[in-house]
Amino acid sequence: MSEKLNLSGIPSHIAVIMDGNGRWAKKRGASRIFGHQNAIKAVREVTEGCAELGVKFLTLYAFSTENWNRPKLEVEGLMALLVSTIKKEVPTLMKNNVRLQPIGNISHLPKEAQNNLADAMEETKGNDGLLLSLALNYSGRWDITEAIKSICRKAIDGELTIDEIDESLVSHCLNTKNLPDPELMIRTSGEYRMSNYMLWQSAYTELYFTDVLWPDFRKSDLENAIIDFQKRERRFGKTGDQIKEIVNK
């Protein structure tokens, strides 16, 4: 563990955009699915690293709604990998006291993947450490759209008035309603965009970009991201002096 890491300033919720699997495989003259297969170690490392550091929530962008547009063979390979990986990783989750949940429209996933997810959730539900959320068939715009639909239904049914609609209600209607907003979002592979991920929830999230391709991402890279996060002053619209006054009270 790095000496620069302040264990009293660990972010509560870290979200990760796991990017670069295809480029990692291409560098090795292999198919894209080979990159996805070798990304499992990075998932395991980051999950264990977060559990060891006391992070309470980790959300991984595993499959977006837009990923269905990828080549058919890659999508089929990803789904098969998802099915096998969830089942294999349960012992690791149990070892690290990690609870698993999906976010996203999982009803469109293969039945076997849905069943394995349900089994893993059931097996890990008693764990009270890190909550690992897998964003599967998820996108920020889909999440917000579904929240709007839910609010409209409530209004039509007379359960609320327009004046009762506020930010808190919107947040409660999102797929992530049981999660706090992420404090830190990590994107690997040198890309500098959000890619339709947790758009509402990341209004004040600190963004960290690294050139490391996801299959190469390790605990040390996670620590580097957190160290960078700890150097930042989070103001939430206030001035630096106002934040200092609050901290010193």
Q: What is the dihedral of CA 211, 217, 218, 224, to 10 degrees?
A: 30
Catalytic-residue membership of 166: no
Amino acid at 132: L
Indicate whether 94 belongs to any domain: yes
Q: Exposed/middle/buried for 24, CB within 10 Å: 0-12, 13-18, 19+?
A: buried
CA distance readout (Å), 132 to 23, 217, 222: 26, 17, 15
Indicate whether 53 belongs to any domain: yes
Nearest to 202 by CA among 118, 137, 117, 139: 139
Q: What is the pLDDT along the chain (249 residues), one digit of tens a residue?
A: 677 899 999 999 999 999 999 999 999 999 999 999 999 999 999 999 999 999 999 999 999 999 999 999 999 999 999 989 998 999 999 999 999 999 999 999 999 999 999 999 999 999 999 999 999 999 999 999 999 999 999 999 999 999 999 999 999 999 999 999 999 999 999 999 999 999 999 999 999 999 999 999 999 999 999 999 999 987 656 555 555 555 555
Residue 62 has a CB neighbour count (10 Å cut-off) of 22
The C-alpha atoms of residue 167 and residue 112 are separated, in whole angstroms, by: 36
**CATH number of the domain that residue 151 is part of:** 3.40.1180.10
Of 67, 105, 115, 127, catalytic: 67
pLDDT reported for residue 127: 97
The alpha carbon of 215 is separated from its chain's Cα centroid by a whole number of angstroms, namely 16
Indicate whether 2 belongs to any domain: no
The two structure tokens encoding residue 205: 């999230």
Q: Which domain holds residue 193?
A: 8-248
b vs e for 127-145, b when ≥16 Cβ sit within 10 Å of the residue's Cβ? bebbbbbbbbbbbbebbbe
Of 6, 19, 128, 224, catalytic: 19
Contact between 184 and 206 (Cβ < 8 Å)? yes
Catalytic-residue membership of 67: yes
**Number of domain units in the chain:** 1
Indicate whether 34 belongs to any domain: yes
Indicate whether 141 belongs to any domain: yes
Q: Exposed/middle/buried for 146, CB within 10 Å: 0-12, 13-18, 19+?
A: middle
pLDDT reported for residue 233: 87
The C-alpha atoms of residue 177 and residue 151 are separated, in whole angstroms, by: 14
Indicate whether 56 belongs to any domain: yes
Indicate whether 1 belongs to any domain: no
First to last CA, the chain: 31
The C-alpha atoms of residue 187 and residue 209 are separated, in whole angstroms, by: 5
Indicate whether 3 belongs to any domain: no
